[in-house]
């Protein structure tokens, strides 16, 4: 059974930090590229950050570059994906989703990701 389970969301003041986690199991996710997307109310789901299957390459949306860091731990049966979020802003408020895709396809397009978590809410107060 494929499962991607996010955790770590919550309410934080502007300028604060949060660390999101995603536990992925049920597939050989160590061979999948993974990413974080987010969706604010009334907006499209947007790309935040991605990491290749080996962890060798990372990509960020311009809006989070320098503030967020994506990382992963390819453990034996469960892959852990992380998003360290620093210097948070009210515009970072959204539901954050982890996702996984086959390696090689374009990392910014949500349509290339076959597996998704249920999301975790991040709220940044001003």
Q: Residue 104: which pLDDT band, with cuts at 50, 70 and 90?
A: confident
For the chain, what is the mean pLDDT? 96
76, 65 in Cβ contact below 8 A?
no
pLDDT in tens, 35-91: 999 999 999 999 999 999 999 999 999 999 999 999 999 987 899 999 999 999 999
Residue 63, pLDDT score? 98
Instruction: Name the residue among 87, 79, 88, 99 with its Cα closest to residue 36.
Output: 99
- Is the backbone of residue 2 left (phi > 0), alpha (psi -120 to 50) or beta? beta
């Amino acid at each position: 059974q494929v499962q991607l389970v996010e955790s770590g969301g919550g309410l934080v003041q502007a300028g604060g930090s949060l660390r999101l986690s995603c536990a992925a199991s049920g597939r050989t996710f160590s061979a999948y590229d993974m990413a974080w997307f987010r969706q604010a109310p009334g907006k499209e789901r947007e790309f935040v950050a991605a990491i290749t299957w080996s962890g060798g390459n990372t990509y960020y949306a311009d809006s989070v570059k320098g503030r967020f860091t994506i990382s992963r731990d390819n453990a034996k049966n469960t892959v852990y994906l992380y998003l360290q979020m620093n210097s948070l802003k009210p515009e970072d408020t959204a539901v954050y989703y982890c996702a996984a895709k086959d390696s090689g396809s374009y990392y910014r397009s949500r349509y290339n990701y076959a597996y998704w978590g249920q999301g975790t809410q991040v709220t940044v107060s001003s």
